[in-house]
A = this chain, B = another copy of it.
Amino acid sequence: MSEDINLYFITKWKSQFKKGLLEYIILLLLRSKPCYGYELISEMNQFTSLEIAEGTIYPLLNRLKKENLVSSEWAEMDTGIPRKYYKLTETGTSHLEVMKEYVDSLNLSITRIKESV
């Protein structure tokens, strides 16, 4: 309960912790419906305690697209700025399945460690 928390350390750690995790969560979000980048940022804020910067999401989506896990399509809006919608490909779905198993098994391990104390 001491209050000597090094916020700089925590901030740095949180940033590191997101690496890989964001990729997983984005794919999970896209499983339910196609989304555009800006939308994913607000979904993220709504569903999780995670914040994701714009400078993070757009390169991330490009990586996923280059790896063929998602596909994208421009959507002209009646009004407003055009949106680039991303959706999960079949490849993305099967990769997500592998990732899900990995995450689930890790969660089990961590639970076991926490209980072993």
Spell out A's residues near B (CB within 8 Å). 1-2, 4-6, 9-10, 13-21, 23-25, 28-29, 31-32, 47-50, 67, 69, 90-91, 94-95, 98-99, 102-103, 105-107, 109-110, 112-114, 116-117
Contact = CB atoms under 8 A, between A and B. Distances in A.
A3 to B, nearest CB: 8
Chain A contact surface mostly: helix
Number of this chain's copies in the assembly equals: 2
A48 B13 contact: no
Contacts of A1: 94
A95 B6 contact: yes
A31 B117 contact: yes
Contacts of A23: 13, 16
Nearest to A1: B94
Given A13-B24, A16-B19, 6 more contacts: A5-B98, A9-B95, A17-B19, A21-B106, A25-B110, A48-B113
Given A1-B94, A9-B67, A110 B20 contact: no
